[in-house]
Amino acid sequence: MLLAPRRIIRRAGAAPGTHGAAPRKLQRETTMGLLDGKVAIVTGAGRGIGREEALLLAAEGAKVIVNDVGGALTNTAADEHPAEDVVALIKERGGEAALNGDDISTWKGGNNVVTQAIETFGSLDILVNNAGILRDKMSFNMEESDWDDVIRVHLKGHFAPAHHAAVYWRNRTKAGEEVTGRIINTSSEAGLYGNAGQANYGAAKAGIAALTWILARELGRYGITANAIAPRARTRMTENLFGDMAKKDDGQFDAWDPKNVANLVAFLAAPESADINGQIFVVFGGNIYAMSAFQPVGQLTRDAAWTPEELIAAKGELFKGIDSGVPKFGF
């Protein structure tokens, strides 16, 4: 694991880092987490990866708005509120959390969740955009609603809370306050490489990668970073996809546990990650990969345009040493 939940016990009165003995009357134990004093939102935190992210951010000291609309995976019927359990568990463990049941893929829902964080806990520092759904079909079988629902929940569901958080953070900066905002988006290798059967989902997740770069470029000057993860974990979303491969082996390190993913998110949320901006990570088990943006692999350059006929003649040069077919999935 990159970062296990960490609680440093420090005696009040001892200087940080000294672990020195404090005068007797000040000997009161306090705990310190990576995110003490921070306020976080995790969308889609009722289950799966979002649940583990909310639990870990809270264990690291953040006050967490646990958002989940409570929707079923492949249709719009609402389950019971899974986020209620997460809020209860955080409180049981001594943390602070509040429930939000808004649909974050609406402008109003995005605004509500940000406003709730500010009104309940006094500020907002960390926005983890995680909520998602699947409507997998081949492009020739896909219906308009499959396309619209997935694009809306993922792409607008990332942008709506990010927009309202950005407005809040920019206003604070303009008022002369110091802001250390964090946006952590959730992309997918299905989008970074383009998975067959997921035209809607893959396009949304590729859009989230581009959105991450754009937010990073726009907001860096206000003290805000925007990064994205592309996780692999065993959740209800992937239990059919990964099947036996993702089964837990008793006694072995559980590489498919969504807790592994949450560690990277807590790291990116921490003050120590202020220098990491516009980055995309593939994360799986004990493997974390920092991914590059698109780079050219072949080129034709000259100070004149290429006619279509010239391109036919030069295509061997453009794809010299590389395959001109569909790029490989994964790495």
Ligand X SMILES: NC(=O)c1ccc[n+]([C@@H]2O[C@H](COP(=O)([O-])OP(=O)(O)OC[C@H]3O[C@@H](n4cnc5c(N)ncnc54)[C@H](O)[C@@H]3O)[C@@H](O)[C@H]2O)c1
Binding of residue 153 to ligand X (CB under 6 A)? yes
Cα separation, 18 vs 35, whole angstroms? 20
First vs last Cα of the chain: how many Å apart?
A: 22
71 is a contact residue toward ligand X (CB under 6 A): yes
> Which one is catalytic: 38, 188, 292, 324?
188
Ranked by CB distance to ligand X, the top (closest) residue is 48
State yes or no: residue 151 binds ligand X (CB under 6 A).
no
Site string for ligand X, 288-317 (x = CB under 6 A): ------------------------------
Cα–Cα distance for residue pair 67/148, rounded to 1 Å: 22
216 binds ligand X (CB under 6 A): no
Among 3, 14, 32, 73, binds ligand X (CB under 6 A): 73
* In the block, residue with structure tokens 């498919």: 256
CB atoms within 10 A of CB 178: 7
131 near ligand X, judged by CB under 6 A: yes
Identify the DSSP state of 66.
E
Residues 75-94 that bind ligand X (CB under 6 A): 82
CB of 98: closest distance to ligand X in angstroms? 15
Total chain residues near ligand X (CB under 6 A): 32
* 198 near ligand X, judged by CB under 6 A: no
Binding span for ligand X by CB under 6 A among 1-9, 57-65, 124-132, 135-143: 124-132
Q: Shortest distance, CB of residue 172 to ligand X, whole angstroms?
A: 25
Q: What are the start-end ranges of the E strands in the chain?
A: 8-11, 29-32, 39-42, 63-67, 97-100, 126-128, 181-186, 224-232, 280-284, 287-291
Query: Which residues, 156 to 185, sit near ligand X by CB under 6 A?
Result: 157
DSSP state of 71: B
3-state secondary structure of 184: strand
> Would you call 208 exposed, middle or buried from its count of C-beta atoms within 10 A (0-12, 13-18, 19+)?
buried
Tell me whether residue 289 is one of the annotated catalytic residues.
Answer: no
Q: Is 205 a catalytic residue?
A: yes
- H/E element, 148: helix 144-150
Binding residues vs ligand X (CB under 6 A) = 43-44, 46-50, 67-71, 73, 82, 103-105, 130-133, 153, 157, 186, 188, 231-233, 235-238
Catalytic site positions? 188, 201, 205
